[in-house]
Amino acid sequence: MTKKEKMSYWLAGLILCLLAWPPSPFNFIIFLSNFPIYYAFLKIEKARSAFTFLYSFFFVFLLIKSLSLFAEGDYSSTMLIGLFLAPIFWTLPFIPVYIVRRRIGLLASLLTLIIAVSLHEYWQYYWELSFNWYTLGLSLGNRDLASPLYQVLSINGLSILILITNSICVFLWDKYTVKLKWRFLAFSTILALSLISIINLEQDKAKGEDKIEIIAFSPSTEDYSAIENKLPAQIDYLVERIEKEDIKGPTLLVGPESYLQDLRNNPIFVNRLNENEMIKRLQKVCDQRSISMVFGAILVELIPANDYPSFTAKKKEDGLYFEVYNGSIYLQPLKKADWRSKRVLLPFTESIPFAKNINQAAKRFSWIPRFDNTYGIDRNDRPYTYQGKNFITSVCYESLYPHIIEQKNHTKDLKFHLILTNDWTRDSNTIQQYQSYCHAIVKSTKIPALYVGMDKTSIFLDFPTNRVSLNEFEFSQIEIVN
């Protein structure tokens, strides 16, 4: 393959892949968007050239998708590290593909590609450097026609289907012995199936009369920035808004990720959650107005120990350590407060990948590094209960992990799923992309979800009707019918 041909396939693949990911309205072409890159990779003879081709494609794709983040200034040095590392890990499953192509042939290499990439995506859910933001199966979350595919195949199953259709395109493109009309027919069929997904089909199914009333609280970033890291001010603002809107129960009031946080002056200790004066003030509001509340919170757990109880623990004083959690608290009228921790942390932002292994290796040199900017994880996965109905809460990134949701759904009777986020970036493309992914999660797990973010944005994603209710108010009332 000449340099000109390589560049042509590289550019064609880049354009198609950029169009294939939300919030692009053309994401239906995901069924054939990858084939120029796959085809060119399999045709390049030299290994170094092939993997340079692949790495450069992944790097530029990720860079372009991140440009708006950089333009908004929503990035850190660790994100820049991830920008260079992620493409390396994305190329790993192509190593066996390349070997099989050279030793056996095209068809065997395409089968290897389907298996290797799908296993790589599945593996992404379970290791510490997990970055599943571009899992193929998430790409069609905002397409209603894909709902049956999600329900039957799940997200990973849809990824396999996408890999199969792209591999078919590669095979047909390569096999010149196949008559042109049959090649054209095959491509047209795949494209037609892709185009059909533009249609928004509404699946109305009968539901019961059992209703749950929820009010989503979504403050503006400007208002919150004035009270960030000031727990008394956060409580004051919330109570003032509740009183002004005269919110009364029975209802469930939910707020965004990490709304309650003040590690420096008023840490929320889960060991003494019901003794915290600020939480007691919120509890009083719940009791007086018959309101239940779920809010994102940065929590602290004190742990008596003679040594660090975990690799994420921090030392408070001799014999006393603590964990910091990104999680949620749940208040109910005349009941004790409850809490949960986020189960999956964003690499390089909320956690240091392989920190445990680093600590273990460092012990040989009598040096144990502590990563003070990392969160801990509490494994309690019991659902919350409201009016006798179970629901779970996911904090931002962890909502994209179906197996975590399934673990939390061990009772198999969840009525809804709360997704709390603080929309940490002001980049609208990234926010829309995440919202589209949440659609995919709802369709795959078959659990209705309420997305609660910042800046007067809450979205109710129903199942099985696929109805989407976008609410652009500080307080939005949502009714879930089961």
pLDDT digit string, tens, across residues 350-367: 877 777 777 777 667 666
Contact 279, 337 (CB under 8 A): yes
* CA dist list (Å): 95 to 88, 90, 101: 11, 10, 10
Q: Which of 479, 417, 405 is nearest to 452 (CA)?
A: 417
Mean pLDDT of 417-437: 83
Contact 49, 5 (CB under 8 A): no
Mean pLDDT of 168-180: 74
Pick the more confident residue, 462 or 233. Answer: 233
- φ, ψ for residue 120, nearest 5 deg: -65, -40
pLDDT at 48 exceeding the cut of 70? yes
Would you tell me the crossing angle of helices 180-196 and 147-174 to the nearest 10 degrees? 160
pLDDT at 72 exceeding the cut of 80? no
Residue 179: pLDDT band by 50, 70, 90 thresholds? Answer: low
Contact 59, 468 (CB under 8 A): no
Burial class (CB in 10 A: 0-12, 13-18, 19+), 252: buried
d(CA 462, CA 448): 5
> What would the pLDDT profile of 271-322 be if each residue is shown by its tens digit?
999 999 999 999 999 999 999 999 999 999 999 999 888 888 888 888 999 9
Mean pLDDT of 383-407: 90
> What would the pLDDT profile of 112-153 be if each residue is shown by its tens digit?
999 999 999 998 888 877 778 899 999 998 887 788 888 888
Residue 74: pLDDT band by 50, 70, 90 thresholds? Answer: low
> What would the pLDDT profile of 239-282 be if each residue is shown by its tens digit?
999 999 999 989 999 999 999 999 989 999 999 999 999 999 99
Burial class (CB in 10 A: 0-12, 13-18, 19+), 203: middle
According to the model, what pLDDT value does residue 452 have?
A: 93
As a whole number, the mean pLDDT across the chain is: 86
Query: Model pTM?
Result: 0.86
pLDDT at 181 exceeding the cut of 70? no
Pick the more confident residue, 236 or 203. Answer: 236
149 sits in which H/E element: helix 147-174
d(CA 471, CA 460): 8
According to the model, what pLDDT value does residue 369 have?
A: 58
Window from 227-236, 384-393, 472-481 with minimum mean pLDDT: 472-481
Mean pLDDT of 394-423: 87
d(CA 252, CA 72): 34
